[in-house]
Structure 1
Amino acid sequence: MDFIINYFGQIPSSHRSAILVGGILFFWLIEGAWPLFRFGYNKWKHAGVNIFFTFTTILVNVPLAFLLVRCSDFCSQNSFGILQWLPALPTWLYALIGLLLLDLVGAWLAHWTQHKTKWLWQFHIIHHADQQVDTTTANRHHPGESLCRFIFTLMAILIAGAPMWLVFLYQSLSVVLSQFNHANIVLPRQLNSILSLIIVTPNMHHIHHHYVQPYTDSNYGNIFSIWDRILGTYRVLPQKDIVYGLDTHPNPEENTAIKNLLKIPFGTYRPPVGK
């Protein structure tokens, strides 16, 4: 644990970039060899749109990164947050509790709120409108959504009272797990049954990208599957029955042009067509 604390407490920006790029390339190769769906699409063109939004996310997060450090330092210096109030614990248990809290507030709650708040949902549509979900979809977020998620990450740090090494560990795991659970792959049923008790698997998260409710409003988790199971948002659907996209935005031309995607949040709200 000392190595993890020291490494993530001082992780270079180049290493964080390598985790992002390496994860995309790794799962890109795997889904190319064993795809769940064989989409009839230009994989490079599709990736180009999603990578554009990856860069906009970076442009939002990098200038604001100092706020993460400030929040974490505030918690440590003022003994603020749940982790700061706990009695002495083994480091691994301390880290696990911290990751669970950061994932609950920074990922699950942020995601749930975007689905339940109309004006936030307008920004989140860009992510769900992808009709060929693969590992690059993980980073397909409108700049407005990226800002929203950043705010929830700040809230998570304050609530958890997380030290900076734990924040960087959480963000690294979040990136890799998001790329994993969006990948166009399917796990064997028995392996998925075991893994999905702990982490969010592709089989589980693909259901969240089904085009119609209530499946769209389910399986919000990013790292840990426990929150959906506890909070009643866990759903099951055979992988072969999944249709990606949204019933409110079925036009492929609208969903693949960057200019159109950037404008969607400022258009008229479209209620779900059916359940």
Structure 2
Amino acid sequence: MESFLRFFETMPIWMKAGWVFFVLALFWILEGYYSLIVTPYKKWKHAKVNLILLLFVMIINAFFGIVTIGVFVWLNESQFGLLHLFDAPIWVELLLSLLVLDFIAQYGVHYLLHKVTWMWRLHLVHHSDKHVDATTGTRHHPIDFIIRETFALIAVVIMGMPIAFYLFYRILSVLFTYFTHANISLPKSLDKALSYVIVTPNMHKFHHHFELPWTDSNYGNMFSIWDRLFGTFVYEDVRQIKYGVDIADHTNDTSLRTQIGMPFNKTIHSKTKA
């Protein structure tokens, strides 16, 4: 296990970036053969704004990497965090760390992004996509992404986890992000069975429905247990899903300028979602 985790600790940057594009390309291709929702749209034009936002995210991530290294150096020197208060097998420590990261840096912050008005206005960019596919997983306003990364570091500090745990989480998070947003159709029985433990493509699509109450449901990224525990889990008929978000349907979801400026667009009345 230690040698397995050490691999992620020494993983070169080009391999991490390659993983992002490999997983994105894999699910983007699979969508063409196993589509959940078949709608005519220009796939490359749709992907353009999402991929540019991905570029912004990767640039921000590079700067965050410097802060992250500083945090892990401090944790190593101070021995701060819950993991230093007890002895457990490394796999138990890893599982606990993944659960806390998923709860704080995914479910928790995602819930706040929907419930806090100024945060919701940033998160609107993600929900404004009218054709959800694998590239939608990359669609985040830069400030939205900074908030998410800040919460991830908070989880890291609380647990006092080693950097290998965090990097492994990042690799898994990329996989789940593109898997759950991909426009792919799993057998309904398999998707529903998996949704008892992990977030599945069908489950997450209800979150991208254009209006309440489904929009404020299924906040999880990897584990579905948080939505089940806190009463935010939904699993209905996927044929009823319509993508986008009602309060911003009048905006252009393929315009980068429109999307970057969406949080400050006074024609969008966020009170509907507050």
Query: TM-score normalised to the size of structure 1?
Result: 0.95
1:264 to 258, 262, 265: 262
Measured after TM superposition, the shift of residue 73 of structure 1 is 2.6
Look up the match of 1:127. 126
Measured after TM superposition, the shift of residue 237 of structure 1 is 2.1
Identity of aligned residues (%): 36
Distance 1:90 1:194 in 2: 29
Aligned positions of 1:191-230 closer than 5 A:
191-230=190-229
Post-superposition Cα deviations, 1:160-194, rounded to whole Å, max 9, x if no partner, equal: 21210011000110011000000001221221122
CA contact (8 A) 1:128 1:209 kept: yes
Distance 2:238 2:157 in 1: 38
CA contact (8 A) 1:130 1:255 kept: yes
CA contact (8 A) 1:210 1:244 kept: yes
Look up the match of 1:54. 54
SS at match of 1:33: coil
Distance 2:72 2:173 in 1: 18
CA contact (8 A) 2:53 2:139 kept: yes
CA contact (8 A) 1:28 1:183 kept: yes
- The structure-2 alpha-carbon separation of the partners of 1:64 and 1:237, relative to structure 1 and needing over 3 Å to count, comes to same
Unaligned runs of 5+ in 1: none
Distance 2:199 2:72 in 1: 26
Aligned positions of 1:244-259 closer than 5 A:
244-251=243-250, 254-259=252-257
SS at match of 2:209: coil
Aligned length: 272
Aligned positions of 1:72-111 closer than 5 A:
72-85=72-85, 87-111=86-110
Look up the match of 2:183. 184
Distance 2:22 2:73 in 1: 30
Worse-superposed segment, 97-106 or 73-82: 73-82
Distance 1:198 1:231 in 2: 14
CA-based RMSD of the aligned residues comes to 1.4
CA contact (8 A) 2:45 2:254 kept: no
SS at match of 1:131: coil
Distance 1:72 1:204 in 2: 34
SS at match of 2:248: coil
Post-superposition Cα deviations, 1:115-144, rounded to whole Å, max 9, x if no partner, equal: 111111111000000010000000100111
Measured after TM superposition, the shift of residue 249 of structure 1 is 1.0
Distance 1:238 1:176 in 2: 25
CA contact (8 A) 1:248 1:270 kept: yes
Worse-superposed segment, 73-82 or 175-184: 73-82
Query: TM-score normalised to the size of structure 2?
Result: 0.95
